[in-house]
Amino acid sequence: MKILVTGGAGFIGSNFVHYIYRERPDWHITVIDNLTYAGNKANIEGLDPKRFDFIKADICDADAINKAVKNCDAVIHFAAESHNDNSLHSPWPFVNTNIIGTYQILEAVRNHGKRLHHISTDEVYGDLELDDPAKFTDRTPYNPSSPYSSTKAASDMLVRAWVRSFGVQATISNCSNNYGPYQHVEKFIPRQITEVLEGRKPKLYGNGENVRDWIHTEDHSSGVLAILEKGKIGETYLIGADGEKNNKEVVEMILENMGKDSSDYEHVNDRPGHDMRYAIDSSKLRSELGWSPKYTDFKQGLADTVTWYQENSGWWKPQKQATEDKYKEIGR
Ligand code: NAD
Ligand code: DAU
């Protein structure tokens, strides 16, 4: 099996590459990534060149994508602009990569008759009230709030249309908030850990009551592999690990873990259009494909993540100042 992983130098893509490298030793992995500010080749260093190669290219580049797709059996499409705050400040790269880039991937898999798994997000469903008993399922209507989530929703729609109109062999997964190693310091958990490591206070948007449904990135990878190997073409699977926590609770857990007073954080301006709550019902993936998450102890997973950032300051320090400068510019 030869797989092409788009966005494999980013957070979730690189964790997926390591997961597959370990779990499927007879597979060959090619990563295609144009190394934006969020991509880092160091994330996928040290892999055996007999089993791994890397192509630096933009997924919007039809020629490069066509060549790479021609040489693989299946494409797992992670590449995206992924940060909501950036999308509010500068939406165009999101429209370009998430919509046009996905279009180019779809055309290439159509031309060459290859299998595609498209990685999406729970944010396409909009948000839930804090007391809503319902969770997102694959039948929840799309209702995205931000430029980021609306471009991901658009990319999902393209995939569905290419399956129905052109018979493209594709599946889609919509996962909840990931955490774990190699996550860019712009994102919530790494930002707070590295703020504490730099001697500053964590920064909570608004009142901190917004809820995210946390999943360890290893569990996202195992869910994607289950869908790739056993999923039904044309189906959408939601990946989640019943990890709902509000942002204030998570900041308090980080502070406690790092030996600080749990109230030692500050409130900053809220994100415009900030989604209140995400929650995933992953029963379809569990019952139909036999998947279940392994990292169900969030406190332990968070402690391991804190340790990773403590031990890998050489990885995150080069991104930190520029990230905080960007936040300063937008007042968060
Ligand atoms: P990330 O921002 O860490 O990584 C994105 C990667 O894509 C980077 O390596 C970047 O260089 C690459 N990339 C961006 N634009 C590209 C382009 N035009 N051509 C080639 N490569 C390009 O993102 P992430 O958090 O790892 O998310 C990966 C995927 O998972 C995205 O599709 C995202 O929507 C989805 N997702 C993320 C989460 C989460 O919690 N982070 C949850 C659910 C789904
Ligand atoms: O739900 C899946 C999505 O999760 C993915 O599709 C996105 O790619 C990923 O970035 C993530 O989106 P969020 O907007 O939920 O993640 P973020 O890490 O930006 O923020 C998580 C929560 O924490 C959110 O409620 C905003 C809040 N927050 C964020 C930052 C950076 C803070 O309170 N303070 C912060 O400094």
Q: Which pairing describes strands 236-239 and 170-175: parallel, antiparallel, or unpaired?
A: parallel
* Annotated active-site residue in 148, 278, 295, 309: 148
Q: Residue 221 — very low, low, confident or very high, per pLDDT cuts 50/70/90?
A: very high
- Measuring CA to CA, how many Å separate 31 from each of 49, 78, 154, 186, 198? 12, 10, 24, 23, 33
- Measuring CA to CA, how many Å separate 144 from each of 112, 124, 154, 271, 277? 32, 5, 10, 15, 13
| Joined tokens for residue 301 | 């997973």
Residue 14 pLDDT: 98
Is CATH 3.60.21.10 the right assignment for the domain spanning 2-184+215-243+274-297?
Answer: no
Residue spans of the domains in the chain: they are 2-184+215-243+274-297
* Residue 94 in contact with ligand 2 by CB distance below 6 A: no
* Residue 60 in contact with ligand 1 by CB distance below 6 A: yes
Q: Residue 226 — very low, low, confident or very high, per pLDDT cuts 50/70/90?
A: very high
Q: What is the pTM of this model?
A: 0.99
The torsion angles phi and psi of 33, rounded to 5 degrees, stand at: -160, 140
Q: What is the CA radius of gyration of the chain?
A: 19
Residue 289 pLDDT: 98
State which H helix or E strand residue 16 sits in: helix 11-23
Is 186 an annotated catalytic residue? no
> Could you tell which of 86, 195, 212 is best to mutate to test the pocket of ligand 2, judged by most ligand atoms within 8 Å of the CB?
212
Q: Which residue from 267, 249, 264, 262 is spatially nearest to 212, judged by alpha carbons?
A: 249
Lowest mean pLDDT among 169-173, 211-215, 242-246, 326-330: 326-330
Is 148 an annotated catalytic residue? yes
* Residue 205 in contact with ligand 2 by CB distance below 6 A: yes
Residue 254 pLDDT: 98
pLDDT tens-digit profile of 300-311?
A: 999 999 999 999
pLDDT tens-digit profile of 83-126?
A: 999 999 999 999 999 999 999 999 999 999 999 999 999 999 99
CA of residue 213 relative to chain centroid, distance: 13
Per DSSP, what are the bridge partners of residue 175?
121, 239
**Helix 102-112 × helix 62-70 angle, to 10°:** 40
Residue 268 CB partners (closer than 8 Å, separation 6+)? 203, 204, 205, 331, 332
Residue 75 pLDDT: 99
Q: Residue 149 — very low, low, confident or very high, per pLDDT cuts 50/70/90?
A: very high
Q: Which pairing describes strands 215-216 and 178-179: parallel, antiparallel, or unpaired?
A: parallel
Is 123 an annotated catalytic residue? yes
Q: Residue 298 — very low, low, confident or very high, per pLDDT cuts 50/70/90?
A: very high
On whether the CB atoms of residues 41 and 114 are closer than 8 A, the answer is no
pLDDT tens-digit profile of 14-23?
A: 999 999 999 9
| Joined tokens for residue 167 | 């018979």
On whether the CB atoms of residues 2 and 73 are closer than 8 A, the answer is yes
